Chains A and B, each alone.
Chain A
Amino acid sequence: MRATRIIMAMPVVVEIVGGTEADLNTVFDYFTAVDERFSVYKPHSEISKINRGELHLKDASKEMQEVFVLSEKTREESDGYFSITKPDGTIDPSGLVKGWAIQNAAQLIEHMGYHDYYVEVAGDIQTKGVDEVGQPWSIGIRNPFNRNEIVKVLYPKGKGVATSGTAIRGQHIYNPHDLAQTFDDVVSLTVVGPNIYEADRFATAAFAMGRGGVTFIEQLPAFDGYSIDSKGIATMTSGFEALTTL
């Protein structure tokens, strides 16, 4: 059974093979709770209270503390690339919370006793097992130049799939030190990793590296990637092709 809801201002898709509507609702409720706690747009959320100085981190929920610890870890690992502290000093952990929440939702479904499921938040996907007709889950990579098309089909086989990208790169970026230099910018980078939390983190960090991102992914064991540049040329890691076959 599959259903889609808009939570955290993003489409959340959950499918549990053999699951009931109540099971799906339990998962959606989890995402709603995450949103209630971590949304910087909700004045009553825990993160908003922290930002207003009304709540100290040491008195915050263990989920909040966990996310802070993970964020700090990711910040260190990315040489400061990844930061939940915005220029104005407020804290917004949403960049980390998405992958983290999908991963937790997947574990929640496992605890319910299901091993065939699909969980997606806005294009970041964790699957396990098979679909309702017993076929392996398949994921298309969206064409960054045409939302309605896919340019690749992969079978994640239990791994997490996350894509970072943008539609506004390309010709608009230049090197201020060398105006003649143009970048065939990366417009989309899909990362397949051990789980969605890891895939999402590394997709975010590697995308920020531009063309070097896919090289970075190549050097990470257990990760694969597929990047597409502004000219429509894709570059993939050496292990990527194995993901495109059953």
Chain B
Amino acid sequence: MKRFALSVLVFVASGAYVVYQYMGGSFASAAIPAPTVVAVQTTQPVATTPATTVTTQPSTPTQTTTPTSTQTPTPTQVPTPTPTPVVTPTPAPVVKPKGLYTDGTYTGSTADAYYGTVQVQVVIQNGKIVTVNFLQYPSDRRTSQYINAQAMPQLKSEAIAAQSANVSGVSGASDTSAAFIQSLGDALTQAKNA
């Protein structure tokens, strides 16, 4: 655990270092922008429902002792074994309910999700998908566990609410879901041709 914590520390420190380099060393002193204490208010029409929470733990982030790195710990042991969560039916709309799949278990191709690999396994019974298993899923628990244990800086939270505005463009993600659809599609093609 200690090794793991250290490695995360090195990661965070080196991440900051990249930025430092990128910035041409311009923030040499007093780097981290002191997180401003924010009021609980949200500036926008908050949907009437979910409670807006503010993660304000007064405990100042225990400013970690500068990691004397160089001894890169290379943690080959992953604390949390990659979970293979089971998704019960509700699969994506890609699935055409035609019943033309042959019963059996089919493993999809591995698909790149940028930060890891997604691979699914589909179980067909009576021509229908009954289970989709994740054989590979980007494991992301080790860092988050550690960071969550740290004191959180003052981040502000709000319930999301739809905005009506004309924008030049939209930023949104599709990576893992695209990888999911790719792997699932591959498994289903096998099921169809079996």
- A residues sitting closer than 8 Å to B (CB atoms) are 13, 15, 73, 76-82, 86-88, 92, 94-95, 118, 120, 122-125, 127, 131, 137-144, 146-147, 149-153, 161-169, 172-177, 188-190, 194, 198, 202, 204-205, 207-216, 218-223, 228, 231-241, 244
* Residue from B53, B86, B173 within 8 A of A144 (CB atoms): B173
> Across the interface, do B141 and A162 meet the contact criterion of CB distance under 8 Å?
no
Taking a contact as CB atoms under 8 Å apart, the answer to whether B19 and A215 are in contact is no
Q: A152-B163, A168-B176, A238-B156 are in contact. Are A209 and B140 (CB under 8 A)?
A: yes
Contact of A204 among B27, B114, B143 (CB under 8 A): B114
Question: What B residues does A120 contact at CB under 8 A?
Answer: 169
**A-contact bits for B51-95, CB 8 A (1 contact / 0 none):** 011010000010000000000101100001101011100001000
Interface stretch (choices B35-43, B96-104, B123-131, B186-194):
B35-43
Q: Are A140 and B163 in contact (CB under 8 A)?
A: yes
A207 cross-chain contacts in B, Cβ below 8 A: 115, 140, 173
Chain B's nearest CB lies how many Å from the CB of A41? 11
A215→B147 contact, CB < 8 A: yes
Establish whether residues A138 and B158, one from each chain, have CB atoms under 8 Å apart when the complex forms.
Answer: no
Q: Tell me the complex Cα distance, A92–B116, Å.
A: 11
Q: Bound complex: CA of A208 vs CA of B35, how far in Å?
A: 23
Question: Among B8, B162, B171, which residue has its beta carbon within 8 angstroms of that of A125?
Answer: B171
Note all chain A residues with C-beta closer than 8 A to B148: 210-212
Q: Would you call A219 and B155 a contact (CB within 8 A)? A: no
User: Nearest B residue to A145 by beta-carbon distance?
Assistant: B160
Q: Is the CB of B172 within 8 A of A188?
A: yes
**Chain A min CB distance to B14 (Å):** 5
Complex CA distance for A112 and B3, rounded to whole angstroms: 50
> Which B residues are CB-close (under 8 A) to A204?
114-115
Chain B residues within 8 Å of chain A by Cβ, number: 82
> Which of B38, B92, B146 lies in contact with A238, CB distance below 8 A?
B38
Q: A175-B141, A215-B150 are in contact. Are A232 and B159 (CB under 8 A)?
A: yes
Contact partner, B172, options A144, A210, A211, A213, Cβ 8 Å: A144
Tell me, in angstroms, the Cα distance from A202 to B180 when the chains sit together: 22
Interchain CA distance A245-B169 in the complex, whole Å: 16
Chain B residues within 8 Å of A151, by CB: 160-163
Fill in one digit per residue for B102-146: 1 if any A CB lies within 8 Å of its CB, else 0: 000000001011111100000000000000001010101101101
The answer for the CA separation of A124 and B10 in the assembled complex, in Å, is: 28
Name the A residues within 8 Å of B173 (CB-CB).
123, 142, 144, 163-166, 188-189, 207
Given A209-B140, A212-B143, A233-B159, A138 and B15 touching (CB < 8 A)? no
Q: Which of B17, B61, B163, B176 contacts A166 (CB 8 A)?
A: B176
Task: Provide the bound-state CA to CA distance between A118 and B15, in Å.
Answer: 27
Residues of A near B81 (CB, < 8 A) are 176
- 13 A-B pairs (CB sep. < 8 Å): A94-B112, A94-B114, A123-B170, A123-B172, A125-B171, A141-B172, A147-B172, A205-B115, A209-B140, A219-B32, A219-B153, A233-B50, A233-B52
Contact B156 A235 (CB under 8 A): yes
CB distance from A216 to the nearest CB of B (A): 7
Q: Within 8 Å CB of A221, what residues of B? A: 16, 19-20, 23, 27, 31-33
Q: How far is B53's CA from A140's CA once the two chains are assembled, in angstroms?
A: 23
**Contact between chains at B110 and A87 (CB < 8 Å):** yes
10 closest A-B pairs (Cβ-Cβ)?
A: A142-B172, A212-B147, A165-B173, A166-B176, A210-B144, A79-B11, A140-B167, A238-B35, A95-B114, A167-B177
Q: A142-B172, A168-B177 are contacts. A237–B155 as well, Cβ < 8 Å?
A: yes
In the bound complex, do residue A174 and residue B83 qualify as a contact, i.e. CB atoms below 8 Å apart? yes
